[in-house]
Amino acid sequence: MFPRIYFIRHGETEWSLSGRHTSCTDIPLTTHGENQARELAQHLQNIRFVRVLTSPRQRARRTCELAGLGSVAKIESDLTEWDYGDYEGQRSVDILQVRPRWNLFRDGCPRGETPGQIAERTDRFITRLRALDGNIALFSHGHFGRVLAARWIGLTVSEAQHFLLDTASLSILGYEHNHDESPIIALWNAGSDYF
């Protein structure tokens, strides 16, 4: 057996709706975000998960709970969002007015995580995941999930910019033909309209 990773981005928050970068600010889901999370439950209920891990942030924990997996979930600090440092709460469009050509995946954030630091954290977590067997559910955040996907298949952090993740989306990482040298993205950014 090899791990099959079900990555779930948390439901909508006020800041995700407005495009504000949210890492350590612990804000709740909107009513729509809670409804999105409840919709996930029907798609996850028949899957037997050997592990359920969630970011410590309430938006991820609440999504996990409303998706029906909160009672078996364990908090995993490596699932926290990219640390935006000085850019916490700011929108990319506003940052670009002050710092043209800025790109999170290439430049990181002042007094936040660098691309090298997020790669190190993600790689460490992937090593732990690859030692497991069976279905694993992860409840986390957009930019971290994009880096996780890129690193899972051997791409650089800068290439993670090409993997968009919507709120309350489901993505699946695994291996082609259960061959450990062939990591794949089996499903990406599937929302309620996909199911």
How does pLDDT run across 91-131, given as a tens digit for each residue? Answer: 999 999 999 999 999 999 999 999 999 999 999 999 999 99
Q: Is residue 19 part of a domain?
A: yes
Is the pLDDT at 31 greater than 90, yes or no?
yes
Does residue 162 have an active-site annotation?
no
Q: Is residue 122 part of a domain?
A: yes
Structural domain boundaries enclosing 147: 3-190
**Res 181: pLDDT:** 84
Distance, CA of 178 to CA of 62 (rounded, Å):
32
Q: Indicate if the alpha-carbon torsion angle 165, 56, 17, 119 is positive or negative.
A: negative
pLDDT in tens, 146-179: 999 999 999 999 999 999 999 999 999 999 987 7
Does residue 181 have an active-site annotation?
no
> Of the residues 10, 21, 141, 143, which is catalytic?
10
Q: Tell which residue, 185, 173, 192, 187, has the closest CA to residue 42.
A: 192
Instruction: Look at the chain and report how many structural domains it folds into.
Output: 1
Q: What is the mean pLDDT of residues 24-52?
A: 96
> Of the residues 81, 113, 141, 143, which is catalytic?
81
Sort residue 101 into left (φ over 0), alpha (ψ -120 to 50) or beta: left
Q: Is residue 133 part of a domain?
A: yes
Confidence (pTM): 0.96
Asked if residues 31 and 51 have their Cβ atoms less than 8 Å apart, the reply is no
Q: What is the mean pLDDT of residues 57-65?
A: 98
| DSSP letter, residue 72 | G
Q: Is residue 195 part of a domain?
A: no
The contacts of residue 155 (CB under 8 Å, 6+ apart) are none
Q: Indicate if the alpha-carbon torsion angle 64, 148, 159, 190 is positive or negative.
A: negative
CATH at residue 14: 3.40.50.1240
The CA-atom distances, in angstroms, between 12 and each of 65, 70, 93, 104 are 15, 18, 20, 21
